[in-house]
Amino acid sequence: MQGIKFDWLKSCPEGLYCQPADCFIDPARAVPRALITHGHADHARPGHEKVLATKETLKIMKVRYPSDLAQHQQLNFGEKIRIGEVTVWLAPAGHILGSAQVVMEYQGQRAVVSGDYKRQADPTAIPFEPITCDLFVTEATFALPVFRHPKPESQLEKLLSSLQAFPERPHLLGVYGLGKCQRILLLLRDLGFDAPIYLHGALVGLTELYRSMGFDFGNLLPVQGVAKSDLSSALVLAPPSATIDRWSRRFTDPRIGIASGWMQVRGRARQRRAEIPLIISDHADWDDLLRTCNETQAETVWITHGREDALAYELGKRGQKAIPLRLSGRQEESE
């Protein structure tokens, strides 16, 4: 490894480990002390002894793991604390509600672990803040120049025009249950869609949590218990896998949409049987990944998961030392 040495932060089987603070960031296994960037299951796992995260992330973890015995400690954005010999603070990552970058300062060096992030606007998340640092740890989910996310509104218009063109058919939209679902609900309301929106049971709990924190989604109804005939022209949000699985048989001749960055690629949309592929992602696209790495002015960039080879290659060309970490346990498909 060339450039500045970061022997105080390293990649272990459990995840990223900060030695002078004796804690892990988003560890894949249960550890004594974990810093959690956001509530998605591949970053926030149950079973740790102590968890440090934003208030929202802690609430999400409580909903997801109600019987988890971890000791929670809340940290507000910008609030600095000392863990061992390290100064730690959090900055917004723009990925989902409560998502944070972990900033660590030790012996005059600053490292930022960004978790997952995006630069597009999202009414459910505080916008990403680029933090100048020596080491930037980035994701690379959509790190190929074929991924350029369009404006989400332009994508939802496709769904709305399909609802108009096929008023007699139910529309099932596959969305990731935490973040994507609530972002899309708010965007649909912003676009003037004010009919009731039905939710698959798996989406209800987390959406309820958002509502309790002040988000207004308008009229939402559970699918559970509604007669088939009453769903004949409904807009229904569901986890992506449910849209073509047994659950979907309760709808007559549904039109299937999937909202995901992967929908950019036709083969992926076909695989998902998506008639209405909506390119809406909570991750940074190619341009935003490059822009962000540049804005941090980091001399060294570590790449956690995704298409790390392409990003490492391009950053290298631009004069940043980029190293793929190949962290295990990240679910790149879960977008």
Partner 1 sequence: MTPDPARGYALAALTGDLKIPAAKSATIRSLVEKRMDAELFAMSYDYVGDMAETVALIWTDVNYSPPKFTEVVEELQKSNKASAAIALEKWMDRLDTTGRWALLKLATGGLRVGVSARLAKMALAQEFEASVDEVEEIWHSIEPPYDDLFRWLEGSGEKPNYALGAGFRPVMLANPLEEGLLSQLDPLSYVAEWKWDGIRVQAISRDGKKKLYTRTGEDIGYSFPDILNSLDFDAVIDGELLIRDQKSNKLQEAAPFSTLQKRLGRKRPSTKIISEMPAFIRAYDLLFEGEEDLRGFAFEDRRKRLEIWAKNAPSTIDISATIPFKTWQELSKIRSEARETGIEGLMLKRKSSFYLPGRPKNQWYKWKREPLTLDLVLMYAQRGHGRRSSYYSDFTLGAWSDAETLVPVCKAYSGYTDKELVKIDKWVREHTNDRFGPVRSVTPGLVLEIAFDAAQYSKRHKSGVALRFPRIKRLRWDKPISEAETLQHVKSLIQEPQS
Closest CA to 314 of 281, 291, 283: 291
State the Cα–Cα distance between residues 57 and 32, nearest whole angstrom: 18
Min CB(25)–partner 1 separation in Å = 28
Considering only residues 76, 271, 328, 331, which one is a binding residue for partner 1 as defined by CB under 8 A?
271
Min CB(151)–partner 1 separation in Å = 13
Radius of gyration of the chain (CA): 20
- For residue 262, is it left (φ>0), alpha (ψ between -120 and 50) or beta? alpha
80 sits near partner 1 (criterion: CB under 8 A):
no
Nearer to partner 1, 10 or 270 (CB): 270
Considering only residues 99, 124, 207, 248, which one is a binding residue for partner 1 as defined by CB under 8 A?
248
Number of residues that bind partner 1 (CB under 8 A): 22
Partners of residue 9 on adjacent β-strands: 18
Q: Name the one residue in this structure whose structure tokens are 């309760």.
A: 250
Nearer to partner 1, 51 or 315 (CB): 315
Q: Are 121 and 186 in contact (CB under 8 A)?
A: no
Considering only residues 7, 229, 317, 319, which one is a binding residue for partner 1 as defined by CB under 8 A?
317
202 sits near partner 1 (criterion: CB under 8 A):
no
Q: Which stretch binds partner 1 (CB under 8 A): 65-73, 75-83, 188-196, 267-275?
A: 267-275
Assigned token pair, 258: 């999937």
307 sits near partner 1 (criterion: CB under 8 A):
yes
State the Cα–Cα distance between residues 153 and 190, nearest whole angstrom: 9
Q: With H, G, I as helix, E, B as strand and everything else as coil, classify residue 198.
A: strand
Q: Which stretch binds partner 1 (CB under 8 A): 35-43, 93-101, 178-186, 239-247?
A: 239-247
Min CB(158)–partner 1 separation in Å = 11
Specify the DSSP element, H or E, that contains 106. Answer: strand 100-106
319 sits near partner 1 (criterion: CB under 8 A):
no
56 sits near partner 1 (criterion: CB under 8 A):
no
284 sits near partner 1 (criterion: CB under 8 A):
no
Closest CA to 48 of 98, 75, 58, 202: 58
Nearer to partner 1, 202 or 244 (CB): 244
246 sits near partner 1 (criterion: CB under 8 A):
yes
245 sits near partner 1 (criterion: CB under 8 A):
yes
Considering only residues 5, 10, 82, 148, which one is a binding residue for partner 1 as defined by CB under 8 A?
148
Question: 235-238 and 135-140 as β-strands: parallel, antiparallel, unpaired?
Answer: unpaired
Q: Are 116 and 93 in contact (CB under 8 A)?
A: yes
Q: How many CB atoms lie within 10 A of CB 192?
A: 7
244 sits near partner 1 (criterion: CB under 8 A):
yes
Q: Which stretch binds partner 1 (CB under 8 A): 28-36, 110-118, 125-133, 259-267?
A: 259-267
318 sits near partner 1 (criterion: CB under 8 A):
no
Assigned token pair, 76: 């507000």
The 135-140 sheet, strands edge to edge:
81-83, 86-92, 100-106, 109-113, 135-140, 300-306, 321-324
Residues making contact with partner 1 (CB under 8 A): 144-148, 244-246, 248-249, 264-267, 271, 273, 307, 309-310, 313-314, 317
